[in-house]
């Protein structure tokens, strides 16, 4: 039996809050959210639903499957008809509380989702909208902005990824087309993006590819390099961490693509190079820098 497009959960008790949490996590998993993303959505729903029960005596949670530019997600709206919030902006400040709690409920829920909206006024009830996208969304304050570095024989790029960064360097005749294929689905894992690069090749073409994705949701790095490309993680000035090499991507051949994974630190620096397209990203601030060529 297929999952309904939308569901409603009446919130009148703590068990109802738990049911809204369960259904949110279940729908998130069915929509392809990573386990950590589904848990974050469920936690945000728990905070909003608990608020509705505690301060308004209950309400309802409406769960809906949503999609944007081919990317699936889940939207949950928690509504109540209680007294409302006199100052919604103040309610979203860290540490603010009207009921003796730590005041982390709504601010914490906002941090856990990709899109958040609070609609409330004194005496008119409250609606909290929570949206979680597969692979993360465009944060209001992303760690990195979209940037491109072009070389004569390749292209490098950086853009937001799961509230972190996606870094790529591609060299070969079809580098621009392959990079465009990556950018069209930048929330995907590096192995999926490498497959997209492969699909963009014309007969006889080959690519040198280095891809790295850092998800700030779980502080892990997934990366791969194929052909004459380089990928390096520098930690405390030590550039010894590199993913294992793969053969160059070639049209007509489907290699077994695997990405190496490891935990990362805020002060780490990622460096990717393919052809003369070399790019560097500082994990904690998402900076993109063009490094000079050895002969320049």
For range 16-25, the mean pLDDT: 94
In this structure, the number of other CB atoms found within 10 A of the CB of residue 25 comes to 22
Q: What is the DSSP string of 83-125?
A: S--S-HHHHTSTT--SSSS-S-HHHHHHHHSSEEEEEE-TTS-
Shared domain for 54 and 109, answered yes or no, is yes
Least confident stretch, 13-27, 42-56, 141-155, 206-220 = 141-155
pLDDT at 124: 77
Cα dihedral 143, 149, 153, 154, rounded to 10, equals 20
22 has a pLDDT exceeding 50: yes
Q: Whole domain around residue 24: which residue ranges?
A: 6-133
**Do the domain assignments include residue 266?**
yes
In this structure, the number of other CB atoms found within 10 A of the CB of residue 5 comes to 10
How do 220-226 and 245-246 pair as beta strands? Answer: parallel
Shared domain for 186 and 228, answered yes or no, is yes
**Do the domain assignments include residue 210?**
yes
For residues 282 and 172, the model is more confident at 172
pLDDT at 75: 96
Domain C-terminal end among 133, 160, 190: 133
Q: How does residue 98 score in pLDDT terms, banded at 50, 70 and 90?
A: very low
For residues 281 and 274, the model is more confident at 274
Shared domain for 80 and 152, answered yes or no, is no
Q: If you average pLDDT over every residue of the chain, what do you get?
A: 80
**Do the domain assignments include residue 295?**
no
Least confident stretch, 5-19, 20-34, 67-81, 187-201 = 187-201
For range 224-241, the mean pLDDT: 87
What the block records as the tokens of 4 is: 């309904």
Shared domain for 156 and 270, answered yes or no, is yes
**Do the domain assignments include residue 186?**
yes
Cβ-based burial of 106 (10 A; exposed 0-12, middle 13-18, buried ≥19): buried
Q: How does residue 2 score in pLDDT terms, banded at 50, 70 and 90?
A: very low
The answer to whether 128 and 78 are in contact (CB under 8 A) is yes
In this structure, the number of other CB atoms found within 10 A of the CB of residue 289 comes to 15
For range 45-61, the mean pLDDT: 92
DSSP-assigned beta bridge partners for residue 134: none
Shared domain for 278 and 159, answered yes or no, is yes
**Do the domain assignments include residue 23?**
yes
pLDDT at 27: 95
If one counts the domains in the chain, the total is 2
Q: How does residue 216 score in pLDDT terms, banded at 50, 70 and 90?
A: low
User: What CATH number does the domain containing 103 carry?
Assistant: 3.30.565.10
Cβ-based burial of 96 (10 A; exposed 0-12, middle 13-18, buried ≥19): middle
- Distance (Å, rounded) from C-alpha 56 to C-alpha 293? 63
pLDDT at 94: 45
Sequence-ordered list of residues with C-beta below 8 angstroms from that of 77, at least 6 positions apart, any chain: 61, 62, 64, 127, 128, 129, 130
The pLDDT tens digits for 236-272 are 888 778 898 899 999 887 677 888 888 888 778 888 8
Shared domain for 152 and 103, answered yes or no, is no
pLDDT at 96: 44
Q: How does residue 228 score in pLDDT terms, banded at 50, 70 and 90?
A: very high
**Do the domain assignments include residue 296?**
no
User: What CATH number does the domain containing 231 carry?
Assistant: 3.60.40.10
**Percent above pLDDT 90 for the chain:** 27
pLDDT at 31: 92
65 has a pLDDT exceeding 90: yes
For residues 145 and 35, the model is more confident at 35
Cα dihedral 224, 227, 233, 234, rounded to 10, equals 180
Helix (H) or strand (E) holding 222: strand 220-226
Q: What is the DSSP string of 123-189?
A: TS-EEEEEEEETT----SS-S---EEEE-SSEEEEEEEETTEEEEEEEESTTHHHHHHHHHTTTTS-
Q: How does residue 171 score in pLDDT terms, banded at 50, 70 and 90?
A: very high
């Amino acid at each position: 039996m297929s999952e309904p497009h939308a569901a409603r959960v009446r919130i009148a008790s703590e068990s109802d809050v738990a049911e809204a949490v369960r259904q949110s996590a279940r729908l998130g998993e069915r929509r392809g959210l990573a386990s950590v993303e589904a848990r974050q959505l469920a936690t945000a729903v728990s905070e909003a639903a608990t608020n509705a029960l505690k301060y308004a005596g209950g309400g309802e949670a409406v769960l809906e499957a949503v999609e944007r530019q081919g990317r699936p997600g889940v939207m949950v709206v928690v509504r109540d008809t209680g007294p409302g919030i006199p100052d919604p902006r103040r309610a979203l400040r860290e540490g603010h509380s009207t009921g003796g709690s730590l005041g982390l409920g709504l601010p914490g829920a906002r941090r856990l989702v990709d899109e958040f909206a609070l609609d409330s006024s004194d005496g008119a009830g409250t609606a909290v909208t929570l949206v979680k996208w597969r692979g993360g969304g465009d944060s209001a304050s992303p760690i990195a902005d979209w940037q491109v570095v072009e070389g004569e024989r390749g292209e490098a790029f950086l853009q937001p990824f799961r509230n972190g960064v996606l870094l790529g360097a591609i060299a070969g005749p079809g580098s621009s087309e392959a990079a465009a294929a990556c950018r069209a689905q930048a929330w995907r894992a590096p192995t999926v993006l490498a497959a997209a690069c492969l699909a963009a090749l014309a007969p006889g073409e080959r690519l040198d590819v280095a891809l790295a994705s850092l998800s700030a949701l779980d502080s892990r790095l997934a990366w791969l390099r194929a052909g004459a490309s380089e990928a390096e993680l520098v930690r405390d000035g030590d550039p010894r961490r590199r993913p294992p090499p793969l053969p160059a991507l070639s049209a007509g051949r489907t290699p077994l693509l695997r990405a190496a994974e490891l935990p990362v630190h805020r002060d780490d620096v990622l460096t990717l190079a393919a052809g003369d397209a070399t790019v560097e990203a500082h994990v904690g601030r998402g900076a993109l820098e063009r490094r000079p060529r050895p002969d320049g």
